[in-house]
Chain A
Amino acid sequence: MNKDREYDLIVTIVNRGNADIVIEASKKAGAQGGTVFYGRGTGINEVETFFGISIQPEKEVVFTLIKHDLTKSVIHAIIEKAGLSTPGKGIAFALPVDDVAGITHLTTPCSVEGR
């Protein structure tokens, strides 16, 4: 794995309605924004039945593209503000990103790593 990559993708999965908290926390920690889409959780905290009917909890998935050196501080800000250290509140993880385009406000118009 290329250790000196420039960008990471932070994926945060929270209960529906909490994406705004994640976005706000990540922006305060240095991110430029994010993309939100909807999902459905099936973890141990989500399996609840109500009079025999299982309730499917809706989730929001937040994609935050961030410079590698900011990843740690942004992910810690998200954990703190969204309360991710509490079970059932959500999870966050970061993935390595190779090629990036369209981040005009962060870098040169089109940068391709390792070429």
Chain B
Amino acid sequence: MTQKTCPVPQNLKFVFTIVKRDVGEAVAAFYRSHAISYNFISPGYGAAGLEIRDYLGFSETEKDIVISVCTEEELAKVLPAVVEEFDLEKPDSGILFSIPVAGISGPRALLYVTGYEEEVQENSNDGEKKESGDE
């Protein structure tokens, strides 16, 4: 059986937020509170800054990379709030950028990353509810 990729709404974005280690959890929580439910945190290392600090061992290089999926409209709303909340205007506090999504593995994945997985779960739970009703 051949499986086709799902067409993606034109405005879907992958948002990368790179912050200091252990701040990633707070960033993900902040996105969740703004209805962006798919957040993926990966550990990484920063390589910016003055080289002399690297030699002296002063630079805190451990980072959290938060990958989130949202629409362009959602990002436009949340971006100023994220910049303010996590002081991204200050040097060394973190960066944020977004990449347009061109394709996704299927409708279920699309629903999952865009935060509508609850609807899918409700449908799949229908059978279980009927069973429990029989008892």
Which A residues fall within an 8 A CB radius of B? Answer: 1, 7, 9, 19-20, 23, 32-38, 62-63, 65, 95-105, 109-110, 112, 115
Q: A11 to B72, alpha carbons, bound, how many Å?
A: 22
Is the pair B48, A32 in contact by a Cβ cutoff of 8 Å? yes
Q: A100 to B82, alpha carbons, bound, how many Å?
A: 12
| Contact residue among A34, A62, A96, A104 (Cβ-Cβ distance under 8 Å from B99) | A96
B75 to chain A, nearest CB (A): 6
Residues from chain A with Cβ under 8 Å of B100 in the complex: 1, 96, 98
- B114 contacts chain A at the CB level, 8 A cutoff: no
Complex interface residues of chain B between 12 and 46 (CB less than 8 A to chain A): 13, 15-16, 18, 42-46
Chain A proximity mask over B41-84: 1 for CB below 8 Å, otherwise 0: 01111111100000000000001010000001001100110110
Q: A1 to B99, alpha carbons, bound, how many Å?
A: 11
Is the pair B89, A102 in contact by a Cβ cutoff of 8 Å? yes
| Contact residue among B13, B63, B88, B96 (Cβ-Cβ distance under 8 Å from A35) | B63
Majority-rule SS of B interface residues: strand
Residues from chain B with Cβ under 8 Å of A98 in the complex: 13, 72, 97-100
Is the pair A100, B44 in contact by a Cβ cutoff of 8 Å? no
Residues from chain B with Cβ under 8 Å of A62 in the complex: 47
A14 to chain B, nearest CB (A): 13
10 cross-chain pairs, A with B, having the tightest CB-CB distances, nearest first: A33-B48, A37-B44, A102-B95, A102-B88, A109-B89, A101-B96, A23-B47, A99-B98, A36-B45, A34-B47
Is the pair B76, A65 in contact by a Cβ cutoff of 8 Å? no
A113 to chain B, nearest CB (A): 10
Is the pair A35, B89 in contact by a Cβ cutoff of 8 Å? no
B95 to chain A, nearest CB (A): 4
Is the pair A100, B89 in contact by a Cβ cutoff of 8 Å? no
Is the pair B99, A95 in contact by a Cβ cutoff of 8 Å? yes
A99-B44 contact, Cβ under 8 Å, with A35-B63, A110-B89, A115-B76: no
